[in-house]
Structures are given as structure tokens and as C-alpha cells.
Chains A and B, each alone.
Chain A
Amino acid sequence: MTAVADPPTVAAYPYTVPSPQEITRPALAGGRDTMVLNMGPHHPSTHGVLRLVVELDGETVVNVAPDIGFLHTGVEKTMESKTYQKAVVLTDRMDYLAPLSNNLSYVLAVEKLLSCVVPPRAQIARVVLTELQRIASHLVWLGSHALDLSAMSVFLYAFREREQILDIFELVSGARLMTSYFRVGGLAYDLPDDFTPTVEAFLDIMPGAADEYEALLSGNPVWLERTVDVGVIDADAAIAFGVSGPMLRAAGIPWDLRKDMPYSSYELFDFDIPIAKKGDIYDRYLVRMAEIRESVKICRQGLQRLKDLGPGPFTTTDRKISPPPKTEITHSMESLIHHFKLWTEGFKPPIGDAYVGIESPRGELGTYIVSDGSPKPYRVHFRAPSFVNLQALPHAAKGRLMADLVALIASMDPVLGDVDR
């Protein structure tokens, strides 16, 4: 007989997530009593409809349990009754601060199912637009984070720049938020002629704007007081909780799917992965600000590549996946049939499943699709970064002050649409 190793002691495992039901009111040692405070779901600093059950000893957080589900929309289930192409519009509505990232993750998974080749112009356009989306999302994070810590001006400045990005989205897709611009096979329509100058104009001002935000915050003693060494999620904890994105990189781990598992031609781009050391709120701030600058770099390269490529197809020429251009359907019978069938019935991917993860502004956004060979997905599941990252919240909040909890939530940048789906 061989010796059996003792199992690891479960009680000693520090990375657990309490459930709201667990938080009752245990008496502390010394006869002192704790208070259970309900925070949210309609609390402005919970960034949506997040409910936190907080156990307090005075001002100190003893325990905190996130209660989610207030924004559950059943997106994944609804997709099962939509064709693959129609389901794109539902992805817009999950992480509503980064709809294009959601679009991308979903369409990449479907394209993987179909083994569909996307033309280079569409791939580069997807990179440029998702990087703009990253900047836009980080600007909302920055603005609301600063606002939560009483810095009002940053919010207004950040939204000023974000407005320009939304305008670019309106220019290309016709909608500022719910773009649905990426379709299975490529893009919904070609990039407009004034796309490059408009984006360039924005890229010219963006680094300066970032300097401006940093001038307001980086050396600001109030900001430093509230963020440095607060809400630490170190590398071990981050890995244990499955944290990804800027929160992981702030803990010093250079993990970025754009570099490590490149998709949509990211391998062609030259950019750095900003990382920090400690994994506190300030580090996350630094990482995200650096990412904004890196995204600007990527966008500039992307525009150059688009110029080099010249005009070309913006969606796959495979007529079994992407509807033909409308100019064809008035004279070509084959095209008309494909147009008709793709819009009414949709394409039928082979039986199988596919997973694609992308680096969304919040971390790894993965789409898992199971196909039963019918025109509608059998099952769709999203690995939502906000949901996974939120698990680390109690760990980072314990032992800190109640006020730090607000800063911590803001620094995690959760989007409740993404958490609940």
C-alpha cells in the first residue's frame, strides 16, 4: 500500500467568497457587536445594481458578500431562440460599456465554429474599434472612479473624450452604444470614408487628455491617500480568484490575451503590456492609464495598416455565411436566394462547440457556443470578466474601512450587465 497524502486543509484556504446568507451577526470577542449593513442594489457607488451585505465593526469591514442577479436579463437563454446573426444584438447589451468587445468575442466564436476566414480589412478594423472601445470603457471607469472619490472634474473631462469615441461609433455603425457592428464573417458595413481622419483627430488629442487626468490625480495627496495600499489583490489571490485583465496585471502578472493568445490579427501589432507590482487600487489606476496610451498606439498602427491594405472586402465572401451585397440581389437569382435564406433562416454551423476568449477592457471575455447543426445555437455561455473579478471583492475588502470599499468597487470596474447577463 502506498501512503496517501493528507488533503490540503480546506479551512486554511483564504480565497473564499461568502454568500449573503452567511453574514449574520456573530458577536465579536470582547462582547462587542457587529452591524450588518445593506449596501445597494440602488447605491450609486455600486456602479449598477450590485447589492453588498457588509458586516461592520465600527467603520471596519469584517465581512462582505456580494449579492448579484438584479440585472439578470437572460441573454444567454434568449440567444438559443435567435439565429446566430440575430444574437449579435444581444451581446451589445451585456457589458454595455464595451459592446464592441462583446460583439467581437461572440462573432469570433461563431466564426471558429464555421471555420470562417475573415478578410484582413475587417480584422484590422475590429482591432482599431475594440481598442477605441477599450479607451472609452477606461474613461468611464476613470471618471466614475474619481467621482466616487469626490473628484468631479475628472469625470467631466473623461466623458468629454468618451463622447468623441461614441461619435466615431455612430459614424461607423449608426449607433453610439448598441453598435452591433461586428457581424459573423466581418463587419456590418464598410468603414466610411471619413473614418481615418476622424479617428486620427481623436488619437491626436487623447494622449494630451490623459496627461490632463494624470495632472489632476497622479500626485494628488487625497487620491494617493485613498488608493495606495488599499484593496490589495496580490498575484496569488488574483490567480486563485481567476481575476483577469488590468486587475491581474496590476498584481504584476503580464497576462494579456492579445499577446498570449492573439486573435483578429493582434499578432501583427507592436504594443506593450503595462504591469504594476502590488495590486492595490493605485496600481490598477496606473495600469489602466498606461493601457489607454497603448491603445492609442495600437489604433495608430491599425489606421496605417488599413491605409496600406487599401479598399477590400469588409466581410467574408463566403455566401453561405454572409449575405450578398444588396446591389447584387436585384439581378442575381443565386444572390437573392442567399440573401433571403440568410435573413430568414440563417446559416447552419456544423455540429460542435467553440470557445474564444478575448481581452476585453475588463479582462478575459470568453464565448462558448454549442451548435447542434441548426440555425440557432443550442447553448451560449459567456465567461464574463466582471463576474469573475467580483469574486475577489470580499478578500480585498476585509479589514479595511467602509470608505475603502467604495474605492475598491470602483477600481474593479464591474459592469453589472456583464456580471448578470
Chain B
Amino acid sequence: MPDVTLTIDGKTVTVPAGTNIVDAARAGDVAIPVFCYHPKMKAVGMCRMCLVEVYTPKIDPATRQPVIGADGKPELALMMNKLQAGCVTPVSDGMVVKTVGERVEFAQRGVLEFLLTSHPLDCPVCDKGGECPLQNLTMEWGPGNSRYDYADKHHNVKPVALGDLIYLDRERCILCARCVRFQDEIAGDPVLGFDNRGRNWEIISKSEPAFDSKFSGNTTDICPVGALTSSDFRFKARVWELRSTPSVCNHCSVGCDISIDMRYNDLMRVMPRENDFVNEIWTCDKGRYGMRHIMSGERLKTPMIRRNNAWVAATWEEATRYVADRLTLVRANYGANALGGLAGAHLPNEDLYLFGKLFREVLGSNNIDHRRGTPDEPTALDDLPNILGVGAGTNLTTLGKGTAVLVIGADPEEEAPLYVLRLRGIADRGGDLTVVNSYPTKLARFAKSAVTVRPGAEAAFVQALLGAIFAEGSANEALAARLRGADELKRSVSGKPLADLAAAAGVAEATIRAIASSFVAAENGIIVYGRAAVGAGPALTQALANLALVGGKAGRANNGLIALTAEGNTRGALDMGVRPDRGPGGAAVTAGMSAREMWAAAKADTLKGMYIAGMNPAKSNTAVAEALSQLEFLVVQDLFMTETAQLAHVVLPVATVAERDGTFTNAERRVQRFQQARRAEGEAPADWSLFQEVARAVQAMAPASPTAAPAKKSAKARAAESNTAVAVAAPPASWDYLVSSDIADEISARVPGYKGTSYTSLELTRKSWGRQPNESFYYDGTSYENTEGVGVQLPALADDGKSVFQLAYREPAPAAADEQFPLTLLTVVRAYDGGEWMRGSKLVPRTVPAHVILSVADAQQLGVGIGEPVRISSAAGTLELRAQVDAGLSAGVVLLPLVKGADLASVLTGPQTRVSVAKA
């Protein structure tokens, strides 16, 4: 857009045309006070706080030329002959703005005085006090005393609950509509609205349950007064008493930057920390209210050893030595291959790296995994983002017009909520958002085209897109020189007419053509895929890779693939080598057992000892619980006495994210650092520290005593093992890490791709939304300015500009018909899944109960009403659950939410399970 030059308070400012005066003034370091305006939302001009004097050059009506005054300068005229609201007035060339002066100050004082006439004298009891824009603006621009009679103040019963998380104090509300607009424009849950008129004008919740949004907490941040307060922080502390520690949320793969606000050693609240690359200035309720578990009284405090079927408290040294002892014994008796390890993918990179090192280099076993080994997990591990992931420097906040986003097989609202806001933002700014899924998602509402495909037909759909590209000859040539096998691919795909391909996907040919051409034509293209897409198998991921490459949408910033992974640090777990098939950074190793194979081996008595850190596989899974109870030795390292921990022989408590330092890698492969905010209860150390203690104790033990006969055999086995289980070419492990940055340094040295992720470089910041020193006046409490680092995005392999890619064609699996099990069951993620992180949280009432979702057609056919129990049968077994009906769901698809309380393993056979449903 062309630039416009104007003068604000004597300063000359050049800004893009279309900018409003408030933003232009910000660019010139001039503060114009605002209440309703927020840079992240459209201006509405409701509060009139930003009134300024605006002069424009006089235009001679005859000549349409500016009138030149006697002094040779254009003559100016006051716009509309009165003050203008700066937030809704766009700038124009030659404009002169005055933000000070008697007239403007009179208006500012007047607006503030009006706002304060009906404001209750609540500052001393109000939680916003101290970070309240109304207070700040009154101090800076407002009158010093009141002319209003106190007896005439407006009274209301206070507070009213807008939902169970957010309370509204109607007396304090200044009706700026920031919350309503946030819900409408940004969150996309238009659940708030205005009611009544005049002095009874008030905010209400329109949804059932009240204020049903996963982003409700953000409204309390942007509320410029104390009208909206969160039940989580009500009357907890004063804001100036809080000590903020930069942290990163590990509840999902977005990796929102958060700030953990502590008073002494107690968690008071969680606030978003701005990072335009990740979460802008928002965070979802899961991150905001889901950190209470760190303060839970149920947390484990001391290590415990099971002796004679009773828990006995032990010292740290005793416990780690016992663990090392028993692990060594298992190895001596049965060989290293009888040992297996599982580490949760919400653990930081440092822990995951050392866990891998402990198993591969010290215990000599490759049987490690970060998955739970449930039947619905895809067999293949997805490394595609490391090759074709979005390029370094990607910033979704800057994208809009000219960007095509294809979301396939993902439900961002449940899997990674913040992506709803970010992808919707791209659509709002003019980008093309296409949502392809086999069941309805919230994101589809904001899509330019939303396509429902049959489960299993996702790959066929992408194949059809490729077909359309080839048919129209519109393939992007940007990467053509680096592609191998393009012709073969073209031949295989174009082998069928486009109409057939479209029919295989079950989508109209015109739709296919439209999506394909908009994707290829766009300047930037991003493909987001999630759980369902990975579950659909390698045919789909390969097809997506082909699409990105043929479309030329890889190898540069703002282009490529984003995989929404199951847990907060799954990307890190894959990179750190907590997987059976590869070592850190993809180093080749002899493949060990995956989690699912470990359960089978445990059942078959070939796996004897397990080390499980930060994972609860026995939850809602009786088969795994059975397998675990057969083990000779099980050590569990966790925060709580989980179902898995109850089966263990040793339980080791650990520190939470808030109690230690570390790094996470998010879905866009951005490595971010978090810092310690509090001391752990019982001085529980970080996971990595326990791994180190165990490793040291194992190493200190002499080679296992060769007394018993099986030991001899196992020695042979061990020798065989050590020949094959060479993990990475590295100097002998020296286990002398003092702080987590020691491990981070080793990671950046030994894991390709993690070069440049030292803690120092992770701490570099970047001014995000042009926040200025004086902005605390009106955006106070909005979120925390990021002063502690925005992290480092790892480059994708394609970023180097040289690497070549082999295109390959995989035939999409044809739809399988099954008489006995006519329906397809998909497991779906739910954000409020009842996991350990929810303990003590205000979100507990929102926990999704175990249920099954049927389509309207299927429900009618079965005669099942909402809430009635149904029996689901598959080749694996049966399961009885209550039914819900989703009007948007296609017939033949059954959804099974992954929440606490349903023994899913009893019915699942894979990512997509053929089932039959009957009324129970």
C-alpha cells in the first residue's frame, strides 16, 4: 500500500495508507489514550477516548487542488469542524493531528469523567487495581476530583458469573465491547453479547453452557477495567506483588509463551506472554487454567519403594541406587533387550535426550518410545516436518492475502486450540483457508471452503488435488530443479481421469480444481495436518509432501507443513531419539521395540523391566495394566500416584515445568526456553537429574555378577546386543551435567538441526506488536511484553536450497466394505480430557465425559437418542458408552473422544476401526 505522510504533534510520521490515527501516533511515539480500541481488533469508536483535533489541507472546490495560504503552505481546515475519534479516522496525506491542547484535553477529561460517573468505588477490592487502564488513563488524562453525586451512582448486584470461569461486575463495565469483539472477531465463539438499553446495558453470555469458549480467559486480559475477572485469580493477590517467570505451556503442540505469576512459592495466575511467532498475545483456557496441578496437594513428595506390597518412603540416593540395581539385575538375567523405556512427550528436550542416552548408552537397549502404545496410534512416526516443515522465520501473524492454508485431518480447536485463532486470523486478513476433515470441526466455520471426506479418503483427496494441478499444468516450478521422480509421479497420478480421482475422494471435481488452483497460485502455502491425517497412513503424508513440493510451497519461510502433534513436545521427542527406530537427530540405530510391541513383549514375558517417565499408559487401558503387572521390575517417574505408578516397584517424584529449566520444541519446530518459577515440593528434582543419578549408579556397578547360569546366557546376549545397539557416534558418555543448559549444549552439539539453540540464543527477543514504553497506559494487563526470548525456529531440511527430494506415488487404500462392522470409528482428541494436568483446575467441571458420537442418520437407524447407552463392537471386543449425536457428522462415521473413563483399548484395532453399534 502507498505510504502516507502526516504530522502528529509536530512529528512527521510516514505510515501505510489505511492506518488509523491512533496507530500512526504509536509509530511516532505519541500516546493517544484509548479504551475500546485494541490493535488486534477492528476499531469501533465506542468510547470516544481517542478524540483528537484533525486538520486536513483545504481543497479548492473549483480546481480540486489544495489551497495555498499566504505563507506558501497549504491552508488547513479542522475536519468536520469538531474533534475526531482517532481510532476510526484513517490517515491522509498532509494531515495534521493535535493530540494535546485545551480542546483535546477538555474532551479527554470529559470522557473520563463520564466513564467514572457510573464506576463503583471498587479499586481497593478490585483485582484489576494496579494494572487497570482506567486507573492509568485517569491518572494521566483525567480530572482529579469528582463533580458527580455519589448517591446517583448506578448500582447492580455483583458479581454475576458469565460462565464458571469468568465473572462480570456490571457496575465496573464501561461497555467498550472488547470482550464481545474478541469472542466474535478473534476467538470465533460469538457467545457474548449486549443486552438491554441505557443504564441497564450489559454484557451477557448467549451460550449454554455459559461462556462456552476455550479462549474465555483472554477477555479478562483485554478488559480495560475490572469488569471481567477470572474465578481462578479472584482475590488471590495484588498484581504488583507477583513475580513473573517466563515459561512455555506444554499442554499442546502450540507451545504458547506464558508467564507464571507467583507470590512467594505459590502459583497465583498464568498470563500469556506475547510472541508473534507462536501465540501473539493470547493463550487458551487450557494453558491459563491448567497449571494448578503444580500446586496440587496430591503430588508425590518422596521416592517410594514397594516392599512386601506396601509403599516405603526412601531417600533419593536409596531409590535411584535401587532402581539401578534392579535394572542391572534384569539386564544381567535376561539381556538388555528385556528392558524398555517410555517417556512422555510433554517432557522437555533435555529430559528426553538424557532418557535416550540412558537407555542406548548405559543400559544398552533400543526399546524406547514416547507413545503410549494404544491401538489407535499410527504405526509410522512422522518425520516429514523436519524435511518439509515451514521454513525458519515463519510468522503466521504476518500472513493474510496471498496465503493458502490447507488444513487436513486435524481438529485444531481440540488438538492445539491456539491454531484456531492463528489460522482464522490468516483467513480474516484475506488468506484462503481450506479445511478438509472427515468429521465437523470448528475451524471449518471460518474456511473459504470446507470439505468433508470419508475417513480413509484423505489421501485420495490430496491425490485428486495433485491430479488437478497436473491436469491444468499449473505445477509451480519453484522447486522443480530439486525434485526427482516428478515425471513418474505425474504419470501415476494422471493415469486416471480427474473425475475418477475426485470420485474416489468423494468430492466434486470443481471443488478440487478450485482448491488446487488457489493453493498453487498463492504466494505462500501452508499445509496443516493433525492426528487424523497421520492416522490415515503414509499414503496421505507422502501425498501431502508431493503436494507441497509440486506446488512449490516448501523450503522458505511461511511455506511448508505444520503437523499438530499429540503432545506438547512430541516434535522434541522425535528429534531427541525417544523412539525405537532412530537416535537423536535421526541417527541410524538398530530398531528396538515400539510401545505397542513392548506391551506384547511384556505379555509374552520377554520384556522384564520398564522405566516409565511422565506417562500414564495404564490409564483407561486394562490391557496395558495387565502387561505392566507382569513385569519383574517397573519404575515410574511422575507427579502423581497414577494408575501406572500404582503398579510400579519404585515411584520417583519429579519437578513440574514450573520448577525447573528446559526447552520445548513446538509444532512449527520452534525451540523455546522456560525458566524455573518455584521450588518443588519435597525438593523433587527434574527428570533428567534422576536419569543421571540412575545412569551413574548403573555405571558404578561392576559388570553384572556372572554367577547364575542365566547370567552367562545373558552375557552372550549382552555381547550381541552391544554389537548392534551402538547408538550414536559420540565420545563415551560422561554423566556430569550440573544444570539443564549443560544438556542443551550437548544437544546443540550432537543433534543436527539443534545447532544454535543454546539458552543464550533462545533468550533473544524481538519487538512484536510495536509495544512502546507508554503503552502500559492503555494496554496494561493485556499480556506480558516478551523480554525473555521468542525462541529459535529450527530450519527444515528443505531450507538449505540445495537438498533434492524424491517424489513417490503411493496408491491410496480403497474403501473397505465390511458386512459385520459397517461403521468406521475414529478416535478424536478432546482438550479437556481429564488428564493429570487438570487436577485442581477450574476446568474440572468442563471435563468431557466418556461418550460416543453418532451421526444423525445412524442414530435414527439404530433408534438411539441422546444420552442413551450403546454397545460398540469390533474385532477386538466391545465397549458400552452413552451416545451423543452430531448433526454435522457423516453417516457411517462414529467418533470416540479420547477422554478419561473409557477403556478404549478394548475396542480399537487401529487408527480407524471398523465397528458395529447397537442399542445397549
A:320-356 near B, CB below 8 Å: 320, 324, 328-338, 340-341, 344-345
B769 within 8 A of A: no
Interchain CA distance A337-B126 in the complex, whole Å: 12
Q: B124, A340: Cβ atoms under 8 Å?
A: yes
| Contacts between the two chains (Cβ within 8 Å), count | 64
B69 within 8 A of A: no
B586 within 8 A of A: no
Partner of B138, one of A317, A331, A334: A334
**What residues of B have a CB within 8 angstroms of the CB of A338 in the complex?**
138-139, 144
Q: A337, B145: Cβ atoms under 8 Å?
A: no
Give the shortest distance, in Å, between B122 (CB) and chain A (any CB): 9
**What residues of B have a CB within 8 angstroms of the CB of A337 in the complex?**
116, 123, 134-135, 138-139, 142
Q: B145, A319: Cβ atoms under 8 Å?
A: yes
Q: B119, A340: Cβ atoms under 8 Å?
A: no
- CB nearest to A329 among chain B residues: B121
Partner of A333, one of B116, B124, B129, B130: B116
Partner of B139, one of A320, A328, A329, A330: A320
Interchain CA distance A344-B124 in the complex, whole Å: 11
B150 within 8 A of A: yes
Q: A333, B146: Cβ atoms under 8 Å?
A: yes
Q: A335, B116: Cβ atoms under 8 Å?
A: no
Q: B145, A324: Cβ atoms under 8 Å?
A: yes
Interchain CA distance A340-B139 in the complex, whole Å: 10
Contact digits for B128-172, partner A, Cβ 8 Å, 1 yes 0 no: 011000111011001111101010000000000000000000000
Interchain CA distance A331-B152 in the complex, whole Å: 11
Partner of B143, one of A331, A334, A336: A334
Q: A332, B139: Cβ atoms under 8 Å?
A: no
Most buried by B among A319, A328, A337: A337
**What residues of B have a CB within 8 angstroms of the CB of A345 in the complex?**
130, 240
Give the shortest distance, in Å, between B533 (CB) and chain A (any CB): 51
**What residues of A have a CB within 8 angstroms of the CB of B129 in the complex?**
340, 344
Give the shortest distance, in Å, between B778 (CB) and chain A (any CB): 15
**What residues of B have a CB within 8 angstroms of the CB of A331 in the complex?**
121, 146, 150
Most buried by A among B130, B139, B148, B238: B139
Contact digits for A240-283, partner B, Cβ 8 Å, 1 yes 0 no: 00000000000000000000000000000000000000000000
Give the shortest distance, in Å, between A235 (CB) and chain B (any CB): 51
Give the shortest distance, in Å, between A327 (CB) and chain B (any CB): 12
Q: B145, A328: Cβ atoms under 8 Å?
A: yes
Q: B144, A319: Cβ atoms under 8 Å?
A: yes
Most buried by B among A320, A324, A332: A332
Partner of B123, one of A317, A320, A336: A336
B:548-570 near A, CB below 8 Å: none
Q: A341, B144: Cβ atoms under 8 Å?
A: no
Partner of B146, one of A317, A320, A335: A335
Given the known interface contacts A337-B123, A340-B124, the answer about A332 and B146 at a Cβ–Cβ threshold of 8 Å is yes
Give the dominant DSSP class at A's interface.
loop
Interchain CA distance A341-B145 in the complex, whole Å: 14
Q: B144, A333: Cβ atoms under 8 Å?
A: no
**What residues of A have a CB within 8 angstroms of the CB of B136 in the complex?**
341
**What residues of A have a CB within 8 angstroms of the CB of B121 in the complex?**
329-331, 333, 336
A:353-381 near B, CB below 8 Å: none
Interchain CA distance A338-B144 in the complex, whole Å: 7
- CB nearest to A339 among chain B residues: B123
Give the shortest distance, in Å, between B130 (CB) and chain A (any CB): 6
Interchain CA distance A161-B238 in the complex, whole Å: 47
Interchain CA distance A100-B150 in the complex, whole Å: 39
Interchain CA distance A329-B144 in the complex, whole Å: 11
Contact digits for A306-320, partner B, Cβ 8 Å, 1 yes 0 no: 000000000001111
**What residues of A have a CB within 8 angstroms of the CB of B123 in the complex?**
336-337, 340
Partner of B116, one of A318, A334, A340, A341: A334
B:66-124 near A, CB below 8 Å: 113, 116-117, 119-121, 123-124
Give the shortest distance, in Å, between A331 (CB) and chain B (any CB): 4
B:661-708 near A, CB below 8 Å: none
Given the known interface contacts A319-B144, A328-B145, A331-B150, the answer about A341 and B135 at a Cβ–Cβ threshold of 8 Å is yes
**What residues of A have a CB within 8 angstroms of the CB of B150 in the complex?**
330-332
Give the shortest distance, in Å, between B129 (CB) and chain A (any CB): 6
- CB nearest to B134 among chain A residues: A337
Interchain CA distance A52-B199 in the complex, whole Å: 76
Given the known interface contacts A324-B145, A335-B144, A338-B139, the answer about A344 and B116 at a Cβ–Cβ threshold of 8 Å is no
- CB nearest to A342 among chain B residues: B139
Interchain CA distance A28-B113 in the complex, whole Å: 82
**What residues of A have a CB within 8 angstroms of the CB of B139 in the complex?**
320, 337-338, 341
Given the known interface contacts A329-B121, A333-B116, A345-B130, the answer about A340 and B135 at a Cβ–Cβ threshold of 8 Å is yes
Give the shortest distance, in Å, between B150 (CB) and chain A (any CB): 4
Q: A335, B130: Cβ atoms under 8 Å?
A: no
**What residues of B have a CB within 8 angstroms of the CB of A319 in the complex?**
144-145
Q: A334, B124: Cβ atoms under 8 Å?
A: no
- CB nearest to B120 among chain A residues: A333
Interchain CA distance A135-B91 in the complex, whole Å: 66
**What residues of A have a CB within 8 angstroms of the CB of B117 in the complex?**
333
- CB nearest to B238 among chain A residues: A344
Give the shortest distance, in Å, between B780 (CB) and chain A (any CB): 11
Give the shortest distance, in Å, between A296 (CB) and chain B (any CB): 40
Q: A335, B135: Cβ atoms under 8 Å?
A: no
- CB nearest to A338 among chain B residues: B144
Q: B130, A334: Cβ atoms under 8 Å?
A: no
Interchain CA distance A333-B120 in the complex, whole Å: 7
Q: B240, A344: Cβ atoms under 8 Å?
A: yes
Q: A332, B124: Cβ atoms under 8 Å?
A: no
- CB nearest to B138 among chain A residues: A337
**What residues of B have a CB within 8 angstroms of the CB of A335 in the complex?**
144-146
Interchain CA distance A320-B145 in the complex, whole Å: 11
Q: B135, A320: Cβ atoms under 8 Å?
A: no
Interchain CA distance A328-B150 in the complex, whole Å: 11
- CB nearest to A334 among chain B residues: B146
**What residues of B have a CB within 8 angstroms of the CB of A340 in the complex?**
123-124, 129, 135
- CB nearest to B143 among chain A residues: A334
**What residues of A have a CB within 8 angstroms of the CB of B144 in the complex?**
317-320, 324, 334-335, 338
Q: B145, A344: Cβ atoms under 8 Å?
A: no
Interchain CA distance A317-B144 in the complex, whole Å: 9
Interchain CA distance A317-B139 in the complex, whole Å: 14
Q: B142, A334: Cβ atoms under 8 Å?
A: yes
- CB nearest to B140 among chain A residues: A320
**What residues of A have a CB within 8 angstroms of the CB of B238 in the complex?**
344
Q: B145, A332: Cβ atoms under 8 Å?
A: yes
- CB nearest to B240 among chain A residues: A344
Q: List 6 additional A-B contacts (Cβ < 8 Å) besides A328-B145, A341-B135, A344-B129.
A: A333-B119, A333-B121, A334-B113, A334-B138, A335-B145, A336-B124
List 9 A-B pairs, minimum CB-CB distance, nearest first: A319-B144, A332-B146, A331-B150, A333-B116, A340-B123, A337-B138, A334-B146, A341-B139, A337-B135
Q: Which residues of A are at the interface with B, using a C-beta cutoff of 8 A?
A: 317-320, 324, 328-338, 340-341, 344-345
- 28 interchain pairs, CB-CB under 8 A: A317-B144, A319-B144, A320-B139, A328-B145, A330-B150, A331-B146, A332-B148, A333-B119, A333-B146, A334-B113, A334-B116, A334-B144, A334-B146, A335-B144, A335-B145, A336-B121, A336-B124, A337-B123, A337-B135, A337-B138, A337-B142, A338-B144, A340-B129, A340-B135, A344-B129, A344-B238, A345-B130, A345-B240
